[in-house]
Amino acid sequence: MAWQSGARLIAGVDEVGRGSLFGPVVAAAVILDPGYRIRGLRDSKLLLAERRETLAERIREHAIAWAIAAVDAARIDQINIYQASRVAMRQAALRLEPNPDHLLIDAMRLDCDLPQQAIIHGDALSASIAAASILAKVERDRMVRAWDPVFPVYGLASNKGYSTPHHLAALRQHGPSPLHRQSFAPVWNNPVPQEVLAFMLEEKSEQAIEEIAQNL
User: What's the rounded Cα separation, in Å, for the pair 104 and 99?
Assistant: 14
Reading across the β-sheet that carries 102-106, which strands appear in turn?
65-71, 25-31, 10-16, 102-106, 116-119
216 residues of the chain, pLDDT tens digit each: 565 566 689 999 999 999 999 999 999 999 999 999 999 998 788 899 999 999 999 999 999 999 999 999 999 999 999 999 999 999 999 999 999 999 999 889 999 999 999 999 898 899 999 999 999 999 999 999 999 999 999 999 999 999 999 999 999 999 999 999 999 999 988 777 765 555 444 544 445 435 434 544
pLDDT of residue 42: 86
User: Which residues, in sequence order, are CB contacts of 165 under 8 Å at separation 6+?
Assistant: none
Q: What is the pLDDT of residue 6?
A: 61
* Predicted local confidence at residue 209, as pLDDT: 34
Quick one: pLDDT at residue 77? 96
Cis peptide, bond prior to residue 98, ω within 30 of zero? yes
Q: Where are the alpha helices (DSSP H) in the chain?
A: 49-62, 73-79, 81-94, 122-125, 127-147, 156-159, 165-174, 185-188, 198-215
H/E run at residue 6: none
Nearest to 128 by CA among 97, 101, 105: 105
Based on the number of CB atoms within 10 Å of its own CB, is 213 exposed (0-12), middle (13-18) or buried (19 or more)?
exposed
The pLDDT of residue 197: 52
pLDDT of residue 211: 47
Q: What is the pLDDT of residue 2?
A: 60
CA neighbor of 195 nearest in space, from 179, 181, 208: 179
